[in-house]
Amino acid sequence: MSTPPAATPAQHPAVPFLKGHGTENDFVIVHDPDNALDLPAATVARLCDRRAGVGGDGLLHVVRSAAHPEARAMADRAEWFMDYRNADGSIAEMCGNGVRVFARHLQRAGHAGAGDLAVATRGGVKRVHIAKDSAPGAGDGDITVLMGRADLPAATVTVAVGARTWPTTHVDMGNPHAVAFVADLDHAGDLLTEPSYTPSAVYPAGVNVEFAVDRGERHLAMRVHERGSGETRSCGTGACAVAVAAARRDGLDPAVTGAPVTYTVDLPGGRLLITERPDGEIEMTGPAVIVAEGHIAPGLFAPSQTVTS
């Protein structure tokens, strides 16, 4: 008996997807609980392309932790793993807005309800709280993510846009951030192009660069260039980094004062509330909305060749 020919990519079924955003930081969502899909960088980039694909600042690959080699060690603490990819297809450690949208998707799909939820990420297990008044269909109600503790490495980095330069505060939120306080957000220029920074060796894998201004007492506004995505409408880890940098600048380090500090952070896509507690834990609260669902044309994906045993 002859062996039947292998299936061609065009024979694979269409892949379901959803589209969601958190303060207009938008994502393609692919629900793949068994980690059965191959997601090379070129495929992710095509999906995130705003003209030739679905369009998004990144992709949320939704996988059960036990099925993904990078998350198995966290499976006893979190059922689901957020395998996050930047818009250019590169792999990222964390995405704060993405975690909220990820949780909203699980709620909408019936895998989570109002209350507490654990999500595994490359930046560790993140604890999420879905507000009780949160409606899974409409996407109403805020979602709070416990983002972990910030690390502030002792690095002196200067960021430049055109002829302007600023010193930055290096804040690591599971992914790296360089925070610059500026007099005017327009000074950040065209953030589609990555701002230059020196010394570049401090960030061998690239960095997210935030430009922040004061709008009032414990009230900030910011713009951000996300590595691998360009300027985005919002960045959750970036908002946390800006709040932490502002607290240190303002002499309000909760570990020193013994009191939590909250900053309101306005981004082009909306508003986030960031609270740093005396134990170092950072809480981020904001909206998360699912806006569409559909199917990606057959042939774009092929079965995963990754060994998962």
DSSP 15: E
Q: Is 240 a catalytic site residue? A: no
Neighbours of 135 (CB within 10 A): 12
Radius of gyration for the chain, computed over Cα atoms and rounded to the nearest angstrom: 20
Torsion of CA 186, 189, 191, 193, to 10 degrees: 180
The percent helix, strand, coil of the chain (3-state, each to 5) is 20, 40, 45
Residue tagged active-site, from 30, 48, 95, 222 = 95
Collapsing DSSP states into helix, strand and coil, what is residue 6?
coil
CA dist 34 and 27 (Å) reads 20
Ligand-binding annotation for 162, yes or no, is no
DSSP 51: T
Residue tagged active-site, from 235, 242, 272, 284 = 235
Ligand-binding annotation for 194, yes or no, is no
Give the end-to-end CA distance of the chain in Å, rounded to a whole number.
31
Ligand-binding annotation for 22, yes or no, is no
Ligand-binding annotation for 79, yes or no, is no
Q: At 297, phi and psi to the nearest 5?
A: -55, 140
Tell me which residue of 85, 1, 5 sits closest to 37, measured CA to CA: 85
Using alpha carbons only, what angle is made at residue 178 by residues 176 and 179, rounded to the nearest 5 degrees?
Answer: 130
CA dist 189 and 66 (Å) reads 44
CA dist 143 and 51 (Å) reads 30
Ligand-binding annotation for 35, yes or no, is no
Collapsing DSSP states into helix, strand and coil, what is residue 139?
coil
Catalytic residue annotation = 95, 235
Residues in binding site:
25, 86, 96-97, 175, 208, 226-227, 236-237
Annotated binding-site ranges for substrate: 25, 86, 96-97, 175, 208, 226-227, 236-237
